[in-house]
Structure 1
Amino acid sequence: MKNRKLVRTTIGRPSQKREENKTKAKPEQPIDIIKQYTSQINDVIYKKIPTDEGLVTVIYSNSLVEKMTLQAMVLIPLANHLNQIHQVSEMLDTSNASEVTSKLISGYTLLYFHETKLLVNIDTYSAPTRAITNTETESTVIGPQDAFTESLETNISLVRRRIRNPMLKNEDRTIGSETNTKISILYMEDIVNKENLEKVRGRIDKLNQPYFTDISILKQLIEDNPFSPFPQFYMSVRPDSITHYLIDGRIAIFMDNSQSALICPTSFLEMFVSIEDYYNRWTTATLLRFLRFFGFFLTIMITPMYVSILTFHPEIFPYELLLNLQESRAKVPFPPLFEVLFLELIIEVLREAGSRMPAKVGQTIGIVGGIVIGTAAVEAGLISNILIVLVAISALLSFLPPIFLMSNTSRFVRYIFIISAGMFGLMGQMLAFAWLIAHLLRLNSLGTPFMSPIIPRKAGDLKDGIFRFPIAFLKNKTGIARSQKK
């Protein structure tokens, strides 16, 4: 028994020594803790610099801080004017290692004073950003030509250059448990509806998404009905467009590393409004809005009408036109429904292939591919030449809305109408149209009816609907924003 006890004690002593050694080996200096957290981050640089207050270790991310910025804000003041460092720096809690590391990977430079055990940080974020250029997605002939970039600070500055009012407020938040993406909520404090603002804050605070790479992801998460094919928030890359809606009492949301900005609430009619409409004469603006608005309904109706008439209601066409249709379809072995779906899918393939390729090559493929495939398909008897004309017109009409997301919506809704027309003819089209109207009436944008100001009707807002009255009549705020000022 004694031997056993001796064995146990002799086994236990080395383990106690190992535990003591481990406790002694644990790093106690904040600089050692930071090195542990950044051990696999190769762009984190450590520089030891002797100063009047002793040795100072400068820690920064080489990919987020430019050398010139580091030299001007940190290195030169450390060598000559140490008081400047203390004036512009902020003290950090050395016990909170996660906060210290998050500051480092956000572009801050950390300074650790070895003598006083003091850890401070200086905002030296100077990552390379894209210059301000004109936009290709919302290009206009009249008006400003600048567009947002992927820099949050640059985008906010473009808006503040246009609204030089202290009532323009912005609230910064961080979203995304993994990406820690910075966003900013902009609004006019004396105009915005407080209820709308609280809704936006509440929806953003409840987010539980690990990553955000673009603001379109945020838009889908905070919309009233995320299952709808229709966008319920307005997206734009133009500072003048965002300024217009901010003055009206709307709320703008910006995201770092995203070029677009969100505007809420908004309505269905505003999806067909371009900021260039306010730079044109009211007659020209009204004509263009008519084209965009009715072009949306034409693009979802033209090819389904072809399917329903040829399949169920050929007596609707005049006799001469019906003869031409039958002659063009004499060699086509497929029913109109499959013929239309086949050609629509070909158009979608050409559109996607052209958008994914370089600009010059994509245009060539779109034009040459459409001509070659269309001509070959007609000669082979796969489709009729009249259908090619209808599908081409439908594709052009889908690009009329100034918001690209609305163009995508029209493409999706068109397939619903085509299938309904192929199954039930004109009655199927009317059923699909009734579904479309009922769906739009059920939608809300931040609690505001999406079909406003048509339903519920507000006569004052109709001055800036499909018709655009002269600018002198558009002084009041719209009812969609429910702003504090009229």
Structure 2
Amino acid sequence: MILITKMKLVKKPMLAYFMDGTTSTNALVEKRIRYYKKITKDNNDVLYKNIPTNEGIVTIIFSQSLTDIKTLEIMVLIPLANYIHQIHQVAEYMNPSNIDEITQKLAIGETLLYFHETNQLLSIHTYSVKEREVTTSEMESTFIGPQDVFTESIQTNLSLVKRRIVNPMLKNEDLTIGSVSNTKITIIYIDDLVDKTSLEQLKSRLTKLDYPKFFDISTLMQLIEDNPYSLFPQYYMTVKPDTTSHYLADGRIVILMDNSQAALVCPTSFLEMFISAEDYYNRWPSASLVRSLRFFGFFLTIMITPTYISALTFHQEVLPYELLLNLQESRMKVPFSPLFEVLFIELIVEVLKEAGARMPAKIGQTIGIVGGIVIGTAAVEAGLVSNILIVIVATSALLSFLPPVFHMSNTSRTIRYVFILSAGIFGLFGQMLAFAWLIAHLLRVKSLGTPFMSPVIPRRMSDLMDSVVRFPISFLKRKSGISRSKKRSI
């Protein structure tokens, strides 16, 4: 009994313990504020303001770069002065001693309110930075259909999707990735359509990520792909909300990242890399024609210049006699072999592309057009390349930009050099070996566990109605096989 009595005599309130265990309320407040300032002393962006209220002094702590003054006034200052009870209703209560949570809240734009009299710490969402407005696309421009595109705000992008799919089964789950950047991402899917196995597999890959920084969704794509060493992108990347909504309605999974404009669609297939949302707004004959151009243009861009090398180096007999004479006449002054001639002009084209992309817009257009004409004409007159090769390389460069997914354009540019070297060493036989390697590689690649060559391998006849040739809309009533959707029909 004596022991129990002594324990009651020395018992102190839990809120009174902070740092050195003082029991004075004023000392406790001073200690807390001093310690908060200590942990944010190197961050001059964090401000402290003492506001007198009906409940005593309240210290407001906020990051001025992440909080707009008008938002702070509406959400915090006016309610503190007139409707302080509303603050307690809408705010989130925090542990005043949890330093990690406090710093995290400040980092994401929350405003903290520390009540001196009651020793309570509250958090209110006041994140309000300036965001880019919804504009038209410069990467995926279309003539028919919606013109709006995603921005770098994950909330804006999510709203653009939810405007198009008004369905209570549309779900989104938030995650934070990157041990340093703490980047927010959201996974979007339609619950009664999505394949649960694919969804759980994607979540598992995201939770196991071990990478410190994410500033664009392209980095995330490379880390969660089935075949990270492949040249081909295994997820469809788009900045169009209508394209994203189309794939969501098909049972796919979409990933959005804060501070990144694009969305990832998974799983996807090789054929879908040549499909644009505009194809569904056009009449089926014109849509089929454009799709065929994109699809076969990919193989043409990797085959045209290698075939030029093979024909002039090893297989002159495959060319018509008149064409062979024209080619030989155009190369009379060229001192290099066809292989080095092609490599030289291909590298010049790559330099012009990069220079035009990195320079200011007006100068870049001038460099791309004038530079190409001047350098091409000068190279032909100097006898460095043939004029026919200039036409072939220019055509090949244009064909490489046909796919709507820009990563696919980069892939075709890279693979073309493999075919060029194979043709320069082994001729047409080398080209066929490279082509066999390409097909074998595509058959091995998977996208979130599903074959990348769907619907061709494995074959589903209903999917072929929406592949290289797009059938009329009335035929497209089934979900694609690669989505593994629970509902097969629309």
Q: TM-score, normalised by structure 2?
A: 0.93
User: For residue 267 of structure 2, what is the amino acid of its counterpart?
Assistant: P
2:339 maps to: 337
Give the whole-Å Cα distance in 2 for the aligned partners of 1:483 and 1:93.
44
Is 1:147–1:239's contact at 8 Å kept on the other side of the alignment? yes
Give the whole-Å Cα distance in 1 for the aligned partners of 2:101 and 2:220.
25
User: For residue 186 of structure 1, what is the amino acid of its counterpart?
Assistant: I
Query: Offset at 1:205?
Result: 0.2
2:424 maps to: 422
Give the whole-Å Cα distance in 1 for the aligned partners of 2:93 and 2:120.
8
Give the whole-Å Cα distance in 2 for the aligned partners of 1:410 and 1:54.
67
Structure 2 SS opposite 1:300: helix
Give the whole-Å Cα distance in 1 for the aligned partners of 2:274 and 2:218.
19
Give the whole-Å Cα distance in 2 for the aligned partners of 1:476 and 1:289.
20
Query: Offset at 1:336?
Result: 0.6
- Structure 2 residues without counterparts, runs of 5 or longer: 1-18
1:351 maps to: 353
Give the whole-Å Cα distance in 2 for the aligned partners of 1:461 and 1:316.
38
Query: Residues 391-432 of structure 1: CA distance to partner in whole angstroms, max 9, x if unpaired?
Result: 000000001111111000000000000000000000000000
Is 1:271–1:401's contact at 8 Å kept on the other side of the alignment? yes
Give the whole-Å Cα distance in 2 for the aligned partners of 1:32 and 1:453.
64
Query: Residues 369-393 of structure 1: CA distance to partner in whole angstroms, max 9, x if unpaired?
Result: 0011011111111111110000000
- Give the one of 54, 71, 74 matched to 1:52: 54
Give the whole-Å Cα distance in 2 for the aligned partners of 1:364 and 1:344.
20
Query: Which residues of 2 match residues 82-121 of structure 1 at below 5 A?
Result: 82-121=84-123
Structure 1 SS opposite 2:433: helix
Question: What percentage of aligned pairs have identical amino acids?
Answer: 68
Give the whole-Å Cα distance in 1 for the aligned partners of 2:45 and 2:88.
26
2:184 maps to: 182
2:207 maps to: 205
Query: Offset at 1:23?
Result: 6.5
Is 1:33–1:97's contact at 8 Å kept on the other side of the alignment? no
Query: Residues 325-371 of structure 1: CA distance to partner in whole angstroms, max 9, x if unpaired?
Result: 11111111111111100100000000000011121111110010001
Query: Offset at 1:321?
Result: 1.2
2:14 maps to: none
2:75 maps to: 73
Q: TM-score, normalised by structure 1?
A: 0.94
Is 1:34–1:101's contact at 8 Å kept on the other side of the alignment? no
2:8 maps to: none
User: For residue 249 of structure 2, what is the amino acid of its counterpart?
Assistant: I
Runs of 4+ in 1 over 4 A off after TM superposition: 22-28
Give the whole-Å Cα distance in 2 for the aligned partners of 1:319 and 1:481.
51
Give the whole-Å Cα distance in 2 for the aligned partners of 1:327 and 1:355.
35
Give the whole-Å Cα distance in 2 for the aligned partners of 1:252 and 1:325.
50
Give the whole-Å Cα distance in 1 for the aligned partners of 2:317 and 2:379.
27
Give the whole-Å Cα distance in 1 for the aligned partners of 2:404 and 2:284.
18
Give the whole-Å Cα distance in 2 for the aligned partners of 1:372 and 1:199.
53
Give the whole-Å Cα distance in 2 for the aligned partners of 1:421 and 1:187.
45
Aligned length: 465
2:284 maps to: 282
Query: Offset at 1:98?
Result: 1.1
Give the whole-Å Cα distance in 2 for the aligned partners of 1:29 and 1:427.
79
Give the whole-Å Cα distance in 2 for the aligned partners of 1:250 and 1:138.
20
Query: Offset at 1:116?
Result: 1.0
Query: Which residues of 2 match residues 25-424 of structure 1 at below 5 A?
Result: 29-424=31-426
Give the whole-Å Cα distance in 2 for the aligned partners of 1:42 and 1:387.
60
Structure 2 SS opposite 1:29: helix
User: For residue 402 of structure 2, what is the amino acid of its counterpart?
Assistant: L
Give the whole-Å Cα distance in 2 for the aligned partners of 1:149 and 1:292.
27
Query: Offset at 1:34?
Result: 2.0
User: For residue 180 of structure 1, what is the amino acid of its counterpart?
Assistant: N
User: For residue 112 of structure 1, what is the amino acid of its counterpart?
Assistant: Y
Query: Residues 244-295 of structure 1: CA distance to partner in whole angstroms, max 9, x if unpaired?
Result: 0000000000000000000000000000000000000001100001100000
1:15 maps to: none
Structure 2 SS opposite 1:136: coil
- Structure 1 residues without counterparts, runs of 5 or longer: 1-21
Query: Residues 143-186 of structure 1: CA distance to partner in whole angstroms, max 9, x if unpaired?
Result: 00000000000000000001111100000000000000000000
Is 1:309–1:425's contact at 8 Å kept on the other side of the alignment? yes
Query: Offset at 1:32?
Result: 2.5
Query: Offset at 1:24?
Result: 9.3
Give the whole-Å Cα distance in 2 for the aligned partners of 1:337 and 1:251.
44
Give the whole-Å Cα distance in 2 for the aligned partners of 1:373 and 1:470.
46
User: For residue 253 of structure 1, what is the amino acid of its counterpart?
Assistant: I
Structure 2 SS opposite 1:79: helix
Give the whole-Å Cα distance in 2 for the aligned partners of 1:395 and 1:161.
38
Is 1:356–1:362's contact at 8 Å kept on the other side of the alignment? yes
Query: Offset at 1:49?
Result: 0.4
User: For residue 58 of structure 1, what is the amino acid of its counterpart?
Assistant: I
Q: Name which of structure 1's ranges 426-435 and 351-360 shifts more when overlaid on structure 2.
A: 351-360
Give the whole-Å Cα distance in 2 for the aligned partners of 1:30 and 1:242.
48
Query: Residues 59-112 of structure 1: CA distance to partner in whole angstroms, max 9, x if unpaired?
Result: 111011101000000000001110011011001112220111110110100000
Give the whole-Å Cα distance in 1 for the aligned partners of 2:68 and 2:411.
43
